[in-house]
Amino acid sequence: MNKPVVSEEALGEPVLVPELPPSLAAKAAAAGPAYVVLAGISFSHFLNDTMQSLIASVYPILKDNYALDFAQIGMITLAFQFTASLLQPLVGHFTDKKAQPFSLSIGMGFTFFGLLLLSVAHSYGIILIAASLVGLGSAVFHPESSRIARLASGGRYGFAQSVFQLGGSFGTSMGPVLAALIVVPFGQPSIAWFSSIAFLAIVILWRIGAWYKPQISGKKAATIERHPDHPDRRRVRIALIVLVALLFSKQLYVSSLSSYYIFYLIDRFGVSTQAAQLYLFIFLAANAAGAFIGGPLGDRFGRKYVIWFSILGALPFTLALPYAGLFASAVLTVVIGVIISSATSAIIVFAQELMPHRFGMISGVFFGVAFGIGGLGAAVLGKLADHTSIAFVYQLCAFLPAIGLLAVFLPKMPKAVR
């Protein structure tokens, strides 16, 4: 496994990583990825994001039951995703200093209670509280689970991040299908059935925590070696700002589809709610495929090039989507989903390599930014849709991938960490 490298002078602080010392890291690399652990953490990500995506998938039911407008729908997304975005960097910063092997199971407990509360919610305020609890569970889950994926990577960081992201992406795609098959026929109380998924995740994550604990027990942080080609502090800051902007363009566009694509299809093409949820599943499944492809490509060709292609490359297809028919829309969303989501792993690993001494915090910031953008964007786009139309929202969002041009400002990373 290549050692993480960074300039101490550039960052102006001691560079320590709460990971394995170099000798143990080398042994882990020689052994290769811990596939059982990667599979377990990816499956847990699948379960976690299945439950998260369920919230957006039941929006039509909540809208009808409580006479909600699009702005109120957006506020539900904001309550869920903004809670996650605010807390994830704090969780990551805390676990950088002291790893918490069993925090994942505890976090999943918040999701468990959030789903139970949502199933019996009788007012808009209770719905917001339930969504916030699910967001809190996500805030605890993502930073530390991403660290575990890296620890089990055997040096194949992009691959491990892609496996981790694959579980989450497929989980996100399953929400609409399960909502169509279970929640739509049986109503809001059936959401309680999904708490059993949260319980299964708690058990799996407890076992993973038992594996994780001896990996970190008694091991001191490893000092990162200095590399003369690592970007200086100013370029690191610029690169992080650019990565956040790129994540903004990607996540806001994905949020526009995941939150309102169902309503767009119903309004424009007159399809049923269940049919619209299946179309949303197709888009989200394409996202899952793209998330898996992007990591290994970044390991092979360099993450900067994957980021270039994945965001800017989606632009022609996003521009065409608002003017396409039903079948063409389905095809375009598949292409968009595969291309635009391939940036996810590359962006996160690129940021981690810029500041490897703040691994948990960086993971939390970028996962948190993704959730925050999604939540805030959903609220703003919902308000805009109320005053204009869903079709206008998609015409406007079509230009978001043009922000991918900012990738020109990303620095060239040393080959050892590329």
Structure tokens at 55: 């919230």
Helix axes 273-301, 343-354, angle to 10 degrees: 50
The answer to whether residues 252 and 400 touch, using CB atoms and an 8 Å cutoff, is: yes
pLDDT value of position 130:
94
What's this model's pTM, rounded to 2 decimal places?
Answer: 0.66
Domains of the chain, with CATH numbers?
8-409 (1.20.1250.20)
Residues near 42 by Cβ (< 8 Å), separated by ≥ 6? 149, 163, 164, 166, 167
pLDDT value of position 8:
37
Structure tokens at 122: 């009788």
Q: What are phi and psi of 370, to 5 degrees?
A: -60, -45
Scanning the structure block, which residue is given the tokens 């691959």?
159
pLDDT value of position 232:
74
Q: What are phi and psi of 344, to 5 degrees?
A: -55, -55
| Mean pLDDT, each 10-residue run in order, the chain (418 residues) | 38 40 46 78 92 84 87 84 77 74 88 93 92 90 82 79 82 81 88 91 91 66 49 83 87 86 91 88 86 80 83 91 94 94 83 77 72 73 88 92 87 62
pLDDT value of position 291:
80
pLDDT value of position 109:
93
pLDDT value of position 320:
96
| 150, HSE (Cβ side, Cα atoms, 13 Å) | 22
pLDDT value of position 30:
46
Using CA atoms, how far residue 403 sits from 168, 240, 310, 368, 381, in Å, is 25, 15, 12, 20, 18
